[in-house]
């Protein structure tokens, strides 16, 4: 009898508290935020507002636990992630790079927000210099009618 109760409890726990769906949502959230930022930057380049090449951008993330949820490429565009504190990247940083720092997800009520912050990063005389140029916020909202998170908007902003 004890074994039956234990097996039933374990089955119920796995069924109700499985993280599989949540992982898929986290990947979708980050994928959408990064794709919208890339699309925005491509539009700025196309319209002549920005003179940079889209392949010159790097993505930086603060927390290694985010690594499992970040996309490797989006629609054929390879995402360039960089560890700015890594020894092998100091030569590149001496020239200066443009990067988007991916912030951890913020939950505000029934909304989820993901911020991507624009930076120009250089390394000179053993000091990191980071100049913030704005960023974007991607917002998702939970819909009780569909029982899913739905994309609401991406807001791009400058300083």
- CA–CA separation, 143 vs 120, rounded Å? 37
pLDDT class for 159, splitting at 50, 70, 90? low
Neighbour-count burial for 54-73, b at 16+ CB within 10 Å, e otherwise: eeebbbbbeeeeeeebbbee
Q: Using one digit for the tens of pLDDT, what is the confidence trace for 106-117?
A: 999 889 999 999
Is the whole-model pTM more than 0.85?
no
For residue 98, what are the β-bridge partners? 57, 120
Q: Using one digit for the tens of pLDDT, what is the confidence trace for 11-51?
A: 444 444 444 444 457 889 999 999 999 999 999 889 988 87
């Amino acid at each position: 009898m004890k074994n039956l109760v234990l097996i039933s409890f374990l089955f119920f726990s796995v069924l109700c508290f499985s993280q599989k769906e949540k992982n898929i949502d986290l990947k979708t959230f980050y994928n959408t935020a990064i794709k919208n930022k890339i699309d925005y930057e491509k539009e700025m380049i196309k319209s002549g507002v920005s003179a940079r090449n889209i392949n010159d951008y790097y993505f930086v993330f603060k927390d290694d636990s985010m690594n499992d949820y970040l996309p490797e490429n989006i629609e054929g565009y390879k995402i360039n992630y960089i560890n700015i504190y890594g020894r092998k990247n100091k030569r590149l940083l001496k020239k200066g790079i443009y990067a988007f720092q991916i912030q951890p997800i913020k939950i505000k009520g029934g909304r989820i927000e993901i911020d991507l912050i624009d930076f120009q990063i250089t390394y000179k005389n053993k000091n990191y210099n980071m100049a913030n140029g704005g960023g974007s916020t991607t917002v998702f909202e939970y819909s009780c009618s569909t029982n899913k998170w739905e994309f609401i908007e991406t807001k791009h902003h400058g300083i």
